[in-house]
Structure 1
Amino acid sequence: MASFASGKPHCAMTPDPHLDGLLAHAVRRPDVFIRVTAALARHQAAASAARAREGRSLGPVDGLRVSWKDLFDIEGTATTCGSRLTTRQPARADAAAVARLAAAGAVCIGKTNLSEFAFNGLGTNPNFGTPRNPVFPRSEDRLCGGSSSGAAAAVALGLCELAIGTDTSGSVRVPAALCGLLGFRASGHRYPQAGLWTLSPTLDTIGLISGQMAWIRAVDEALTDIADRDEPCRGPYEAPQFLLDVDPHLEPAVSAALVRFAEALRDAGYRVEHAPHAHLAAVQTLFDKHGTLVGYEALDSIGHQVARGQTALLDSRVGERLHEAQRRLTPTALETLHAERLSLMHRQEQLSENVVFLAATTPMPAPRMGELASARHFHAHNRRILSLTMPASFLDMPAISVPIGRDEEGAPIGAQMSVPQGRDRFLLHLAASLENDGLFTVSSSPDDHTASQTPSAQCFARL
């Protein structure tokens, strides 16, 4: 892709007042966008409009406004990782995923803010500012969740239809849930990762945040290698069997919303059974005994920053987590975590193909910034907010968070559906079917220009 970092358009374009207004709004939100790629967006939008006029659209992604978490290389822009410690040298080429969506006609709005080095689930960033949750008045100081905090905020503000983030321990699902959006974590390596900075090579995967399943499915199709795609739906899938786990540590409003959602599924004809998610307990036991895999892999990916004595430029909370991982690391910890992970994943593969694990996405709604003043409170909130999403990440389970209601203060609540590794397409079809049936809805979303792409619920048989 030609570089547009200079801000100078490379061709004559008819001004688009709507797009110009969105870009101006994005520029006014530096807490959400680390970099607005205005010239590139105008160029891509103009090209898309020309194709539409000439009847040669590239497909459902053509003209879709997207943003990229600032871990992805975009030619001509620096990849900051949300840190002051990274290079400011412009990338020489687009990340593979960026190039693939550009080829499908997507319009790149810019690069979104994140927790520094994607290393907390609360979405805070002292370097570029912490995005405030757009669902609430700014005076309420509610967090978006993270680490893909800017990604969720960009969609919630209507600045793009879909945001591309990463999900290591819940970094797409958590902010989607706290902002009342859809957040999809794909199986690892479903999408190309060249040109993407990774915190945890074992666990990192690309995730999508949007207000509509049609957009998530269209981007999933565009990003997935043809050779790796699942077989298309040739007829009804086997009806899903939901296994519901209502964690006893959920806040009452979250628990009540999850139970209501399960009852709505039953009323719609789906099978829902109460069953503890054994893998949740098994993974948590592993973490309690041996520490977290993401913590240990972070020592390799960013620990050198501490070793260089650059902690003054590092978010203190990131430094504290690195020190804790270093303190807990033992010669056998990594070996044990990897071995147990493979064993648990093998057990998941033996499950019936229609099993869907249903749980809350987070145990509580969006926290307030003031609740994180001390290191102790910050790390306790971080552990808690990731507690229900980390097991799926550890076992490389595709998972999606869908909005299922709000608490008495209007804070969104999300439910997480997850399936064993590699069953992404089944999960996406299921979520689209539930959306079509009105079993969940995003209360506010950008202009719907792809509503006709919404899949039919007939892809599923009912019991």
Structure 2
Amino acid sequence: MGNTGNLGKSVAQLSVLLQAGALDPRELAEETLAAIAAHPDRAIFTLLTPERARREAEASARRIAEGRSLGVLDGVPVAWKDLFDLEGVVTTAGSKVLARNAPAEADAAVVQALEAAGMVAVGRTNMSEFAFSGIGINPHYGTPQNPAATDGPRIPGGSSSGAGVAVAAGLVPVAIGTDTGGSIRIPAAFNGVVGYKATRGRYPMDGVFPLAKSLDSLGPLCRTVQDAVWVDAAMRGQTASEVKRATVDGQSLVVPETVVFDGIEAGVAAAFEAALERLAAAGARIRRQAFPVFAELFELIAERGALVTAEAYALHRERLAGAEAADMDPRVVSRTRGGEKITAPDYIHILETRERMIADMARALAPGELLVSPTLPHVAPAIGPLLTDDERFFTANARTLRNTQIGNFLDGCGVSIPCGTGDAGMPAGCLLSGLPHADERLLAVALAAEETVRG
């Protein structure tokens, strides 16, 4: 595998070496490709792009040598979830049925943006089929195994399963995912890495295979909040980030008392409360508050159906009615077919209620306040029982998505930061969340709070 000294480093650590000429982008690309090829878990990546990586690394090496670096990300490897278009490659979205499609004619807009920042695309990471599960199991391309597990295979979390595992395993410093109900923050928390879900619409969505356009958002899974800040700027086409580190001292953080602690594992609760104590000791002003809109969301879902299910059904309706359904994950088919029962009046009611709930949420927080909560109520469970028992799978999936989907429905932004461990020594996450378009404030506070949260 060659020299593996650079694997597991953050974007910032690699950037220092690359910009100083102490590390050659070509060497880093080869080291990354070799490490992925040698890794025993063959389900993390669905595709490697060695020719592209070598071409981009060569261009980066030339720029840096000539004093024309494109910035802090020049020469840094990046992996893409298998629903971002890469020119010349079929976008399969974790499915077999899309594998028959023609290759993408152009890169997705955000792929172009990170290439313009000098990043080196090494391949595509695995995912739940059509991004429709928080568990991360994929019957077609295999299920990446959580690298933190020491007692047998545990789930990676989905739907950006390969992205979370690739970063946690030290194979890439950053992987770009999507988040419709928690698909960045879930694998980040389960695998012990940082995951940032931006406010929907912060980045262009051209060339990204959708799940539910009213909810789909993007963001990086990476090793540190600083890495997320740099990648966020590049995804928006900026040469430098506008985010300036805030201070924890005096920052008001609100702990929601509604829904998010229901059924929480004792180990996760203890890790979260310990992180809260550290934040309070660092000067954060912490208060607890009930948020009736959280409970109302789940009442709305029970009464009218889920917004994600309605939109996923509209997207896949013809596919489900035809022969392709037989080649899909039966659990994805079952969940998506649930959208058939959601009527047009139901859908309109959901959208109108959502608008009102977002306004209610904005009134419930003071300017500059952020929410702080456990990202998930449990650590990553064992894979085995979920493979064979549909009822157990659907129960686990609903529980896994519960806390994070609130942020998607209320159209906010969130950063999951590792905050310790729960049962079996598995990672637990602390979620900082902001209102819609509060991304700069969220990232500024997350930058300041990260070390304290991690303890």
- Fold shared per TM-score above 0.5: yes
Q: What is the match of residue 293 of structure 1?
A: 307
Name the count of aligned residue pairs: 424
Matched, 1:85 2:97: yes
Q: What is the match of residue 68 of structure 1?
A: 80
Contact kept in structure 2, 1:277 and 1:357, CA below 8 Å: no
1:439/1:236 Cα in 2 relative to 1: closer, same or farther (>3 Å)? closer
Out of 415, 424, 443, the position equivalent to 1:428 is: 443
1:100/1:264 Cα in 2 relative to 1: closer, same or farther (>3 Å)? same
Q: What is the match of residue 321 of structure 1?
A: 335
**Cα displacement (A) at 1:355:** 1.3
| Range with bigger deviation, 216-225 or 24-33 | 24-33
Q: Which structure carries more helix by proportion? A: 2
- For residues 151-193 of structure 1, the C-alpha deviation after alignment (integer angstroms, 9 at most, x for no partner) is 0111112121111000000000000000001111100110111
Out of 323, 326, 333, the position equivalent to 1:309 is: 323
Unaligned residue ranges in structure 2 (runs of 5+): 1-23
Q: Distance in 1 between matches of 2:354 and 2:25?
A: 53
Contact kept in structure 1, 2:44 and 2:162, CA below 8 Å: yes
Q: What is the match of residue 112 of structure 2?
A: 99
Q: Distance in 1 between matches of 2:178 and 2:268?
A: 25
Contact kept in structure 1, 2:417 and 2:454, CA below 8 Å: yes
Aligned residue for 2:323, secondary structure, equals: coil
Aligned residue for 1:432, secondary structure, equals: helix
Matched, 1:116 2:129: yes
Out of 221, 233, 254, the position equivalent to 1:209 is: 221
Aligned residue for 1:332, secondary structure, equals: helix
Q: What is the match of residue 7 of structure 1?
A: none
Aligned residue type for 1:157:
A
Unaligned residue ranges in structure 1 (runs of 5+): 1-13, 442-463
Out of 421, 434, 443, the position equivalent to 1:406 is: 421
Aligned residue for 1:108, secondary structure, equals: strand
User: With structure 2 as the length reference, what TM-score do the two structures score?
Assistant: 0.88
Aligned residue for 2:454, secondary structure, equals: coil
Contact kept in structure 2, 1:284 and 1:391, CA below 8 Å: no
Contact kept in structure 1, 2:199 and 2:436, CA below 8 Å: yes
Aligned residue type for 2:316:
I
Contact kept in structure 2, 1:279 and 1:391, CA below 8 Å: no
Q: Distance in 1 between matches of 2:129 and 2:326?
A: 14
Q: What is the match of residue 20 of structure 1?
A: 30
Q: What is the match of residue 446 of structure 1?
A: none
**Cα displacement (A) at 1:242:** 0.8
1:292/1:319 Cα in 2 relative to 1: closer, same or farther (>3 Å)? same
Q: What is the match of residue 354 of structure 1?
A: 368
Contact kept in structure 2, 1:402 and 1:416, CA below 8 Å: yes
User: With structure 1 as the length reference, what TM-score do the two structures score?
Assistant: 0.87
**Cα displacement (A) at 1:234:** 10
Out of 134, 156, 160, the position equivalent to 1:148 is: 160
Contact kept in structure 1, 2:245 and 2:447, CA below 8 Å: no
- Percent identity, please: 36
* Map 1:389-404 → 2, pairs under 5 A: 389-404=404-419
1:134/1:234 Cα in 2 relative to 1: closer, same or farther (>3 Å)? closer
Q: Distance in 2 between matches of 1:21 and 1:234?
A: 33
